[in-house]
Amino acid sequence: MYKRGICIILVCIMMTLTLSYGNEDLKSIQIGGESAIVMDVETGRVLYEKNIYKKLPMASTTKIITALLAIENISLDKKVKINAQAEGVEGSSIYLRAGEEVKAIDLIYGLMLRSGNDSATAIAYEISGSIEDFAELMNKRAKEIGAKNTNFVNPHGLHDDNHYTTAYDLGLITREALKNPVFKEVVRTKFWTADKDGYKHFANKNNILDICDGGDGVKTGYTRRSGRCLVASATRNDMQLIAITFNDYDWFNTTKMLLDESFNIYKPYTLFDEKQIITKTRVLDGKKKEVSLKPFKSSIIPMDKEEDKKLLTVIDMPKALHAPIEKGQRIGKMTTYLYGKIINTTYLIANESIEKQSLKDKIKDFFGIGQ
């Protein structure tokens, strides 16, 4: 084992920590919702907040995690036999019948586009065998994501006093879901025809897809107890942002305004490019004496016009490596801070493969042959 070295790249030396974390113009926006948040999908950075840790009912936005679990646990082409408990569930429905067989992907589209409570129930029974066991799985997955102030008791969001989340937690859950390409495609789809003759045609209820530039998701929710809840997303200039509002009568206009203002104030800032050589480290017993390191992927973060002066990136990597080394091998890690908070983490990988020296190579090295 080799000692690890800590190398610090100062994008800008941070002399003092700024107490505020976000743009003052955006922070000053007043909305009618009880709670709201704007979050960057790539980094999880919170750009706007109002009561983001307040526990509230979230109605059918619950179905975001139900859809994610369906995608993660059921083959999309599988024909799911509809459990009798899924037929006739109150509220919004795609009118499933007990015993019929429906492809999992169609259940997911019915869940997210038409907000089918029966679809949510069918998914729960298919994965876990009961509502209670599925709720346990939902809570387990939520905790893995980091949603610590959330509790699910059902897969659809019909009201229960013990069924709640926060704007921050729901942002984390949505961010995780949007990293899944199937989920991302489903929620931005405006119209879906199920794979069954004359069966179902699902039109998306989410008006954000039409009224917001770059609108691409995610989910509406409403009960009398929760009020109107909306998780909206949009992508512009390689940035995808999530806007959430709870108990907001003007839900679509609120989230559209928050997204528009956030995109106006925050611009994409390329922190690192995946082709960029960041640093090098020594290689022992290799045919080359050092290896170049680059980021695992490009990192684009939302920044206002002054914030690049407050960035600090720390590199954690070994001082030396043993050959052989494979191209793409994970070598170290870069952590970037803004206002003293982590805003981005990415791995450093080897830019090339380096073979181990043979005995002949070592002898040549010893005598300086070929140098």
Q: Is 359 in a helix, a strand, or coil?
A: helix
Residue 203, pLDDT above cutoff 60? yes
| pLDDT value for 26 | 84
What residues contact 134, with CB distance under 8 A and at least 6 apart?
69, 123, 124, 125, 127, 128, 155
pLDDT digits (tens, 9 = 90+) for 138-185: 999 999 999 999 999 999 999 999 999 999 999 999 999 999 999 999
- Rounded Cα gap, residues 29 and 47, in angstroms: 12
- Domain shared by 37 and 142, yes or no: yes
- Domain shared by 113 and 248, yes or no: yes
- Domain shared by 192 and 218, yes or no: yes
- Domain shared by 231 and 323, yes or no: no
> What angle separates helix 131-145 from helix 167-178, to the nearest 10 degrees?
90
Q: Which of 243, 123, 118, 112 is nearest to 185 (CA)?
A: 112
Mean pLDDT of the chain: 91
Question: Of 60, 92, 119, 226, which one is the catalytic site residue?
Answer: 60
| pLDDT value for 16 | 32
Residue 303, pLDDT above cutoff 50? yes
| pLDDT value for 309 | 87
Question: Of 63, 103, 256, 310, which one is the catalytic site residue?
Answer: 63
Q: Is 115 a catalytic residue?
A: yes
* Average pLDDT of the segment spanning 252-257: 98
Domain that holds residue 309: 4-16+271-367
- Domain shared by 162 and 253, yes or no: yes
| pLDDT value for 14 | 36
- Rounded Cα gap, residues 29 and 170, in angstroms: 21
Contact 219, 112 (CB under 8 A): yes
Q: Which of 274, 229, 276, 265 is nearest to 248 (CA)?
A: 229
Q: Is 50 a catalytic residue?
A: no
Question: Of 35, 92, 93, 115, which one is the catalytic site residue?
Answer: 115
- Domain shared by 197 and 341, yes or no: no
Residue 11, pLDDT above cutoff 80? no
- Domain shared by 160 and 275, yes or no: no
**CATH code (residue 48):** 3.40.710.10
| pLDDT value for 37 | 98
- Domain shared by 247 and 276, yes or no: no
* Average pLDDT of the segment spanning 271-290: 94
Residue 126, pLDDT above cutoff 90? yes
* Average pLDDT of the segment spanning 218-234: 98
Tell me how many domains the chain contains: 2
Residue 17, pLDDT above cutoff 50? no
- Domain shared by 93 and 138, yes or no: yes
Residue 248, pLDDT above cutoff 60? yes
- Domain shared by 194 and 64, yes or no: yes
**CATH code (residue 277):** 2.60.410.10
Among 239, 265, 291, residue at a domain's last position:
265
- Choice among 4-8, 217-221, 252-256, 356-360 with the minimum mean pLDDT: 4-8
pLDDT digits (tens, 9 = 90+) for 325-350: 999 999 999 999 998 889 999 999 99
Among 265, 282, 315, residue at a domain's last position:
265
Long-range CB contact pairs, 198-205, < 8 A, 24+: 199/102, 199/106, 200/94, 200/95, 200/106, 200/110, 202/94, 202/109, 202/110, 202/113, 202/114, 203/113, 203/114, 204/112, 204/113, 205/113, 205/114, 205/115
Q: Is 63 a catalytic residue?
A: yes
Among 265, 300, 320, residue at a domain's last position:
265
- Domain shared by 83 and 123, yes or no: yes
Residue type, 250: D
pLDDT digits (tens, 9 = 90+) for 32-67: 999 999 999 999 999 999 999 999 999 999 999 999
Residue 362, pLDDT above cutoff 90? no
pLDDT digits (tens, 9 = 90+) for 293-302: 999 999 999 9
- Domain shared by 36 and 163, yes or no: yes
